Amino acid sequence: MVIRENFENSLQELKKKISDMGELSIQALENAFIALKTQDVEIALSVIEEDTEVDDLDDEINQFAVWLISKEQPVARDLREIIGALKISSEIERVADFAVNISKATIKIGKSKSLLELTHLEKMKDVSVQMLQKALQSFLEANIVMAKEVSDLEDQVDEYNSETYKTLTNYLREHPEDMDQLLQLIFINRHLERAADHITNIAESTAYLIKGKIYDFNS
Amino acid sequence: MVIRENFENSLQELKKKISDMGELSIQALENAFIALKTQDVEIALSVIEEDTEVDDLDDEINQFAVWLISKEQPVARDLREIIGALKISSEIERVADFAVNISKATIKIGKSKSLLELTHLEKMKDVSVQMLQKALQSFLEANIVMAKEVSDLEDQVDEYNSETYKTLTNYLREHPEDMDQLLQLIFINRHLERAADHITNIAESTAYLIKGKIYDFNS
């Protein structure tokens, strides 16, 4: 059983890397929002810089997975678990990219009087972070019920998203002079909706690696 | 050598599926643009419907790859090729999603007098299709020079993207009454820039599976 034990250890190591990557992405989202709220360009720049850590972890996970498949030649659920980890890491990488996009928008907004309070953006970020935590936990614990909860939370994000879009475009009609900032807020609104979508994909991949069946929670 | 021959045949089958998926995505981009130019909601709806074909192929490729790894237990370049195919198929799926997004924007624009001629959107689509054709060919022929050319073309898309953004926002300042359409064109501008980005990722994955080294053509 030494071989099996080695494999289990390697799988735990892979999961640990995914979990670290998830934590970094959550931190990136939180920091991107601190930057947006306080209009702090320095913090926004640091989110952009620190994204290389997430990218490096993603590369590391890919190489580790290839090494692990070569060495252990896993089949069935073991193999699905590794392939699932690859999919999940590329989704997490994408979530971190949205934090970068939010930071770039924050830099463009600069010091102009903030219109953030018109929006549900912070609530959308909060729900997204909660979704990502749940998706990671469901992956680490192979918990399919929790994976399903992630997609229920996504409905909230979608609702905030349409409301925010309506509010911002109506405001833009009345205040064309605020266009530059309003466009950036409209983009951030979209980034968060997309981030929630990719987090739902993580939950789907988790469901796949548990059950071996492909789920589409988005539809 | 029968085993090797079987493996080569399976790998060709995998590549054929990727190539089919690529062709469907190119067709989706072309049709999305026909819909946008002719303001034809029916065509836009058909692009959205037909996206399930791309999604189904993506699922098929995933399951085929897992089956192939289980059966053949490949190592080194063979394994990288399969893992690369998985990454590439999820990037192609994403490109097709942008065609869907463009179609949704087209439906929102509806019959309002088209402002498309203000933009470089069609040129961006043309370059993106050329990029995707080149990326697919570089993958099928394991041609790394061609992979590099893909990222050179991306610079053109980026340039058209910033010019179009400037033109559309300047126009919006003068014509707030056209806001709804202008916002949709700004979104399409972004979708095309993102599509080109994902196509560049395909070229990077191709370079990785050829050389076993990770490339970042975007930076």
* B46-55 average pLDDT score: 97
What CATH number is attached to the domain comprising B185?
Answer: 1.20.58.220
Cβ contacts from A onto B, under 8 A = 54
Whether A218 is in a domain gets the answer no
Average pLDDT over residues B96-119: 97
Of the candidates A70, A172, A216, the beta carbon closest to that of B75 is on A70
Contact A83 B86 (CB under 8 A): yes
| ipTM over 0.90 threshold | no
Residue B216 inside a domain? The answer is: no
Domain range for B122 is 2-211
Cβ atoms < 10 Å from Cβ of B20: 16
pLDDT at A90 over 60: yes
pLDDT in tens, A36-53: 999 999 999 999 999 999
Residue of higher predicted confidence among B70 and A198: A198
> For chain A, what is the domain count?
1
Distance from CA of A141 to the nearest CA of B (A): 22
* Sequence-distant (≥ 6) Cβ neighbours of residue B118 within 8 angstroms: B167, B168, B171, B185
- pLDDT bin (cut points 50, 70, 90) of residue B109 is very high
* Nearest CA distance, A107 vs chain B (angstrom): 17
Instruction: Check: pTM over 0.90? Answer yes or no.
Output: no
Cβ-Cβ contacts under 8 Å, B90 against chain A? 87, 90
Chain A residue with Cα closest to B198: A94
Nearest to B89 by CA among B216, B210, B201: B201
Please check whether residue B217 lies inside any domain of the structure. no
Give the whole-angstrom CA distance, residue A42 versus residue B24: 43
Cross-chain residue pair A65–B83, CB shorter than 8 Å? yes
A217 in any annotated domain = no
Region B20-31: what's the mean pLDDT? 98
- pLDDT tens for B29-39 read 999 999 999 99
Residue A164 is assigned to a structural domain of this protein: yes
For residues A146 and B146, give the distance between their C-alpha atoms in angstroms, rounded to a whole number.
Answer: 44
Nearest to A179 among B80, B173, B216 (CB): B173
Domain assignment present for residue A219? The answer is: no
